[in-house]
Amino acid sequence: MSKTLPDGGPQIPHFDKFLHFSYFSFGGILFATWLLLKKTTRLATPKHLLIPLIALSIIGVLDEYHQSFTPGRSGNDPFDWLADVFGALFGIIIANRFHGPFRNFSSRVTKMSQI
């Protein structure tokens, strides 16, 4: 995620943090939903929160490290990594919050399709 926009475009302060947060929120939703769909109970356990958070935190660190070798990019920014972690946490919380109602809805749809 480049910190610079094309010439002539608006310069939005800390826009890259928003991009990091958004990208990792989406990743958190996908990862947590995948874990939640693999389980049979309706309630999330601590591992359904910690596994995606740890994995996405590591990916965030590796992304920052990789950016330090990419021309035109700055890497090793701890605030980018924090945006990654908070974005992942936000996505995981969203996935866990909506998992129960979604699971109930999908089971009703499945039952209706069998009629």
Tens place of pLDDT per residue across the chain (115 aa): 455 555 666 787 888 899 999 999 999 999 998 888 887 666 667 888 899 999 999 999 999 998 888 887 777 889 999 999 999 999 999 998 887 665 555 565 566 666 6
Query: What pLDDT does 84 receive?
Result: 96
Closest CA to 85 of 36, 34, 35, 23: 23
Range of the domain at 54: 17-37+45-104
Is residue 11 domain-resident? Answer: no
Q: Is the residue at 4 inside a domain?
A: no
Residue 111 DSSP code = H
Q: Is residue 115 part of a domain?
A: no
Distance CA 78, CA 67 (A): 12
61 in any annotated domain = yes
Domain assignment of residue 7, yes or no: no
Instruction: Give the total number of structural domains in the chain.
Output: 1
pLDDT of residue 98: 86
Tell me, yes or no, whether 109 lies in a domain. Answer: no
